[in-house]
Amino acid sequence: MGSRKVGPENLVPRVFPPVATSPSREAEGGTGDVSRREFLQAGALFGAAAVIPGCASAPRAPARSSAASGRTDMLYDVLIVGGGPGGLAAALALGRARKRVLLCDSGPRRNAAASHLHNFVTRDGTPPEEFRRIGREQLATYPNVEVRNVRVESVSGTRGAFLIRLDSGEVQARRVLLCTGMIDEALPIEGFSDLWGHAIFQCPYCHGWEVQDRPWGVLLDAANVAMLVPFALMLRGWTRDLVVFKTEAFDVAAESSAQLQRAGVRVETAPVRRLIGRGRSLEAVELSTGDRVPCDVLFAHPPQRQVDLVRSLGLTLDDHGFVQVEAMKGETSVPGVFAAGDLTTRGQAAIFASSASVLAATMINFELNWSSP
C-alpha cells in the first residue's frame, strides 16, 4: 500500500459513540472550573481506583455497529505504538472505556529469543507469541479497537490533533501512547549475540527458576559497577555458585570485593575474551589469560537505546536514556504524548509494562472525558 491518505470508510468499520462530557477546554489554565493540576490529582487518586473494584463483576456491554453510532471520521481517540504486553493492556483498558483505539505493532520483538514469559499470573510459562495471540484475540471483542501490523514512521501536530504517518498511510489521533520498549545492544564479546536470551539473561525473576543451583556468572561493565553488590547478593537466592566477570579491565572497589568475598562470590580480575558455547548453551567463560571458568548462565545489562520514533520526537530523557514521564499520569515532555513500560524505566518486565500502561490508559481516558479536544 502506498502513502495515500486512508479514508474513513476503511479505518474503523464499527465504533462506539462518544461519551458525553461536560463542556470544558484543554488549555494549561484549567479544565472547566477545575485547574489542570487538580484534575490530574483527582484522576490519579480516583480515575483508576474507582473503576478497578468493579472490574471483576461488571457485565460486558454489547457491541454496537457503526450504523448505530454514525461515527465515520478518521480521528482516533488514542493511537498506541507497540503491541507487546504494555500496548495490549492499554488497548484493552481504553477499549473497555469506549475509546476509539488504533494499536500499531511492527518490527522485531525484544523478547523474540525468549522461549517463555514468566511472573505474569495466569500466563506463567506462556511463549511470547502465544501471549500476543491471546491478547489480540481478546481485543477483537471490542469493535472500537483496531490492531494493525504497521510501522509508525512519524508523529506531528499537537495535543488533540496529532497526525501520524504510517507505512501504509496517515491517521489522526487525540492522544499518543508509546509502548515501544527498548533496543538492547549486544556487547562486543564473541558468543554474546548467539547466547543472548538463551543462556544470557537480564532478570533472574524471569529466568532464574529454570536454572537454579547451577554455575552462574554476572557480566559486569564499568557503567554498571554501582549495582554490582546488590545485584550479585540478590542472585544468591537462586544459586550459591556465582562468579563476577568483567567486560574490560577496571577496578572494583575494595569494600565491594570484600563484601562479595564474604558472601562466597568470586570476582575474576582478568576481563572476558569470549564465551564458549554449544548451540544455545553456555559452557564456559574464557578470560584474557586463556583460563576457562565453567559457567551455565550469565546475567548482563548491556546498553539500551530508544527506537528511532521515540528519538525523533524530542522527548526529555533522563541520565540513563529513559523517557521522563509525569508520575502517575505517564505524560511525557510533549503534551498529549504518553509513555509506559520499558522505555521509561530500568525496572523491565512484562507485568510491569502492562501495569504501567493500564495506569497511563486510565489517565488518558480520564483526561479525554474531561477535555475538548
Per-residue pLDDT tens over the stretch 220-244: 998 889 899 999 999 999 999 999 9
Separation of alpha carbons 54 and 45, rounded Å: 16
> The domain 8-183+305-370: what is its CATH number?
3.50.50.60
Residue 303 pLDDT greater than 70, yes or no: yes
Residue 16 has pLDDT above 70, yes or no: no
Q: Residue 298 in 3-state DSSP?
A: strand
Q: Is 76 within 8 Å of 101 (Cβ atoms)?
A: yes
User: What CATH number is given for 187-300 in this structure?
Assistant: 3.50.50.60
DSSP string, 224-284: GGGGHHHHHHHHTTT-S-EEEEESS--PPPHHHHHHHHHTT-EEEEEEEEEEEEETTEEEE
Does residue 372 register a pLDDT over 70? no
What pLDDT was estimated at residue 71?
Answer: 35
Q: What is the C-alpha separation between 72 and 66, in angstroms, rounded? A: 8
Q: Is the pLDDT of residue 263 over 60?
A: yes
**pLDDT confidence tier of residue 201, bands split at 50, 70 and 90:** very high
187-300 and 8-183+305-370 share a CATH fold = yes
Q: At residue 165, what are phi and psi to the nearest 5 degrees?
A: -95, 120
Q: What was the pLDDT predicted at 39? A: 53
Query: How is the chain split into domains, by residue range?
Result: 8-183+305-370, 187-300
- pLDDT tens-digit map of 73-100: 469 999 999 999 999 999 999 999 999 9
Mean pLDDT estimate for the chain: 84
Q: Which residues contact 2 (CB under 8 A, 6 or more apart)?
A: 169
Backbone angles phi, psi at 268, to 5 degrees: -80, 130
Q: In the structure, what pLDDT confidence band is assigned to residue 357 with cuts at 50, 70 and 90? A: very high
